[in-house]
Structure 1
Amino acid sequence: MRRDRPVRQSDVARLAGVSQSAVSRVVSGDLARIPAATAERIREAVRELGYVPNPAARSLRGRRNSLLGVHAFEPLFQWARDGFYLDFLLGIEERAEETGNDLVLFTSATGRHGSGTVYTSEMNRLGMADGSILLGVASDPHELARLAGDGYPFVHVGRRDVPGVEISCVIPDYRTASVEVVTRLAELGHRTLTYLRDPNENEPYQDRRAGYQAALAELGLEDDSPGAAGRSGFDDSSVEDLLRRGSTAVVAESVWLAEQMMAALTARGLTVPTDVSVAVLETRSPDSAVEWDCLVIPRLEVGRRAVDQLIELVEDPRTPPTQTWVPCSMAPGTTITIAKTSQRKVEP
């Protein structure tokens, strides 16, 4: 059936043989007092007509809800308790309050890969909000592409590459921060480095690796360790390789890798940083027993910027997708120092 205008709720109501208010309630997820058979009939009409709730259109008509959504593709509070998401959420909350918006948290239904999903029964669960901020390392590129195609305003926290589609992101600049870490080690006299690679292959880790390799090339440093060549994880051979090559510094993508390296060096009678310096391309937790020299991810600022960028998209849906890079920095700790040149070419 060809149409010269977007599908409306009234079209869905007509096809399903129900009131428009019933359609509105089912689309927004309010199924109270809606018989299951009626709700399914409405969903079938939604699928047949290709109806998509469009908060952007509400905005153009001056009918914003002043509701901004927050959706994570994995359990949110588990990570918030551990501190990973907490500052992102605090930044989002602060800026939403300052701009006169309320927040609505969408708890993720389980999708096909075990991660949170935006669409259930072919309907966008985020539709009641004017637009949403999306978080999570397990974000589904197919759903991101579909949201973009539907014209739903959203901003993703962290860089995500979606084939064939540009999306708005607010991105911690891990690449530049990795360059800063390597530059600092070079200034301390380290010439041969060892890289410890996390098994994660998502974009934030790709950015770290790109920055690291760029810094090696620019500064003329050496690293032919397995991690630099693409092997992830840690085992005894990681330490043996470091000692054989006379490496004086380790750059680890994650704290857990740095901890394993430190323990292995200690078992061989070597200390951090006197014998081997260790820097981490991740933020240390407040309760960490070791003051790692590491990255500082400006999570509060990232959350605040995500709100500003989302509001811009909601107020003018014609705004093109934008990638906003937020600088990271290096936090000084106690795990790097001047290179101990006598450590070079130590027998394992």
Structure 2
Amino acid sequence: MTTPAARPRSIRQSDVARLAGVSQSAVSRVISGDAARIPDETRRRIHEAIAELGYVPNPVARNLRGSRTQLLGVHTFEPLFPNAREGFYVEFLLGIEQRAEETGHDLVLFSSTGDGAGGRRIYRDETNRLRIADGSVLLGVSPDRDELAKLWREGYPFIHIGRRDVPGADIPCIIPDYRAAASEIVGRLHELGHRDLVYLRDSIDVEPYEDRRAGYAEAVTRLGIADASPGYREGRAGVPDEVVDALADGLCTAAVVESERVAAELRTRLTERGVDIPGDVSVAVLEDTSAGDVRWDDLRIPRQEIGRIAVDRLIEMVDDPDAARESTFVACEVVAGATVARVKEERG
């Protein structure tokens, strides 16, 4: 008995985009005849790629695209607008708004689906409220993972800003690469002569903090750095007395801290012991502290860029319902401040 030959995969718009070196949304616009803002050279490359691959547009998909609203949704799992202008999500929203305008889309903000407990839900009476938009960008620290799984199973186009693990659903995310940034910060401390570190955790346990911890652990192991702190070995949060003692007594020369809040507490405790930052101890923070009063050495998340990328990825999903829905990592910038210096005994 012979085994039937595998059916060849049809050529997709994503294949054309990859060969032409352009975005999938540009391919879609050229195919649909809406290419007024596409440069001639880009259109030429797209047509050449179509001819080379033998791409034939799917009439069903084109009909679906013809019924599009040109609306993109933004759903937030927590209220945003009561926060100050410098709130964490504002820069993401600015990037989303800019890119939506550039691509000819309007935005719909979903804010009336409260669950009565301070959070927000996607479904009401088993109905997906997001469906009035062609697709949606989701933001928030505490999403309902069951709802994300349901949304994924329905095939509705969406992308989540920030890594979120959902059992049984490989949801597409735009992910700040905290792991690589944390590893880079440890590497910089190592270059400055620091060999004995402590790690101070916040009390938050979500994927972005898991990524920071994984990046730190990888670098500590790779570089042979010593760290016996309870934040690293035991997962204890806060600023333990034994950590303050180790830094004040010179047993450890640097601290890597997950949040500005914990870093501020550490600074207060060390100041009370007469310990200077960075004169005696170096401290780096694994989040953006640019809005604060202290120039911590830290990392910066390209939030506007992430918002723009989220819109582009979402449009690609809407343009090609069969396209792979993959996550995208975006590099964070490690920024030198005024709280890290060469290890004390090596200073000239």
- What interval of TM-score do these two structures reach, taking the shorter chain for normalisation? 0.7 to 0.9
Q: Go from structure 1 to structure 2 and tell me whether the alpha carbon gap of 1:256 and 1:61 turns closer, same or farther (over 3 Å shift).
A: closer
Q: After superposition, what is the alpha-carbon deviation per residue over 1:132-177, rounded to whole angstroms, capped at 9, x for unaligned?
A: 0000011111110000111111000001111111111111000000
1:336 to 334, 337, 340: 340
Show the 5 A alignment for 1:32-71: 60-71=64-75
Measure the CA separation in 1 of the matches of 2:218 and 2:128: 41
Name the SS for the 1:221 alignment partner: coil
Counterpart mapping for 1:106-117 below 5 A: 106-111=110-115, 114-117=118-121
Is this contact kept in 2: 1:195–1:252, CA < 8 A? yes
Structure 2 residue aligned with 1:277: 282
Counterpart in the other structure of 1:28: none
Are 1:102 and 2:106 matched, yes or no?
A: yes
Indicate the SS of the match to 2:82: helix
Cα separation, partners in 2 of 1:242 and 1:161, compared to 1, 3 Å: same
Number of the residue aligned with 2:45 = none
Deviation at 1:82, TM superposition (A): 3.7
Amino acid across the alignment from 1:266: T
Tell me the residue number matched to 1:259. Answer: 264
Paired with 1:77 and 1:57, the residues of 2 have a C-alpha distance of: 37
Q: In the aligned structure 1, how far is the partner of 2:293 from the partner of 2:312? A: 36
Asked whether 1:195 is paired with 2:202, we answer no
TM-score by length of 1: 0.79
Contact persistence 1:58–1:64 (CA under 8 A): no
SS of match in other structure, 1:74: coil
Deviations 1:156-202 (A, max 9, x none): 00011111111111110000000110000000000000101011111
Contact 2:258 2:285 in 1 (8 A): yes
- 1:171 paired to 2:175: yes
Q: How does 1:197-216 map to 2 (within 5 A)?
A: 197-216=201-220
Q: Is the 8 A contact 2:65 2:319 kept in 1?
A: no
1:58 CA drift (Å): 9.4
Contact conserved, 2:135 with 2:156, CA < 8 A, in 1? Answer: yes
What is the distance in 1 between the residues matched to 2:63 and 2:310? 18
On the 8 A contact 1:71/1:108 being kept in 2, the answer is: no
Give the structure 2 partner of residue 78 of structure 1: 82
- Structure 1 residues 97-133: Cα deviation after superposition (integer angstroms, max 9, x where no partner): 0000000101152337642110111111111111000
5+ residue gaps, structure 2: 1-59
SS at match of 1:127: helix
Distance of 1:241 and 1:114 partners within structure 2: 41
Distance 1:107 1:293 in 2: 36
The alpha-carbon distance between structure 1 residues 117 and 60, as it changes in their structure 2 partners (threshold 3 A), is same
1:18 matched residue in structure 2: none
Task: Report whether the alignment pairs 1:299 with 2:287.
Answer: no
- Residue in 2 that maps onto 1:309: 313
Q: CA RMSD in A?
A: 2.0
Change (3 A) 1:87 1:61: closer
Percent of pairs identical after alignment?
A: 55
The Cα offsets for residues 254-309 of structure 1, whole Å up to 9 and x where unpaired, read as: 001111111111000111000000000000133x1110100011101100000000
Task: Supply the AA of the counterpart residue of 2:308.
Answer: R
SS at match of 1:336: coil
CA distance in 2, matches of 1:324, 1:132: 16
Task: In structure 2, give the amino acid aligned to 1:263.
Answer: T
- Contact 1:248–1:341 (8 Å) recurs in 2: no
State the secondary structure of the residue aligned to 1:149. Answer: helix
